[in-house]
Amino acid sequence: MPELPEVETIRRQLAPLVEGRKLKRIEILDPRWSRPLAPKELAEALLGRRIERLSRRGKYLLWSFSEDVHVAQHLRMTGAVLCEPAPEPPHTRVRMELGPVAAGRGVRGDRSAAGRRKRHLVIVDPRRFGTGELLLSSEALEAFFAARLGLEPLDERFTVEHLRGLARGRAAPIKAFLLDQRKIAGVGNIYADEALFRAGIHPLRPAGRLSAEQYARLRETTIDALQAGIDARGATIDDFRHVDGVRGSFQDQFLVHRRAGEPCGKCGTTIVKMVVAGRGTYVCESCQPRPRRRVRRR
């Protein structure tokens, strides 16, 4: 699944190609993508509007159009946005045609020779889980995200005190806690494994029972893992691609994720795979000691 670094990679690559352009045509081939709206309803709300900004919130790609109209796109497990692929790949769910960049659009948008021609984008998604949600005001946009997302680790407000406050009293495993988007936005399976390994914390340790030092370490390693993923332009395990179809490279830097049966790079202990919060989880149980069971007294 594309996580924060993968979506941020797409945003950085796509923003200069689309900002300042009008949506001339949109063809929604799969009605599941636009639910609860019918494809025609979503298309009519967007046609002719200029893309003012392409941003990101957590794992969402946020398209902001003129007159305070927005689309919150979630790529889910296998979604990708490709620019002018040739030939068009299978599993295309949405086609978009953008006009040239308008003159005098300021610093955003591609105003080179390439900017004076149309752009063709496709959204592909083999598993068909991705969505595009229409939001008709800034207030609706904020309410949409407030109900779904907590702070991102890259947000300056994501302090150690904030993390400790979120985890206080939580008996769920710390891995499950990191994956809860309502508490921490943008962290998925890959980066939770990598952050926990760097912090030396076992994924089964209860979220509310970390020490002050462990919370501080976890905050730092979560930020480090996400930033490493951004610097490597994401991780490609199965379907993730850049807008030009190129694969990410963070998978070549994994310290623990998907390395079951291999020796730990720190201590040489064999990395094991287990299931935590319903997700395949990778851990070195020497560097990340398993929590001891608490014995209840009668």
Residue numbers annotated as active site: 2-3, 59, 279
Helices (H), 200-238: 212-231
d(CA 19, CA 55): 10
How many CB atoms within 10 Å of residue 86? 8
Tokens of 148: 């779904």
DSSP secondary structure code for residue 273 in this structure: E
CA angle at 179 for the pair 248 and 35, rounded to the nearest 5°: 80
Q: Characterize the bridge pairing of strands 272-276 and 131-135.
A: unpaired
DSSP 153: T
Q: Residue 27: which of 43, 3, 49, 51 has the closest Cα?
A: 43
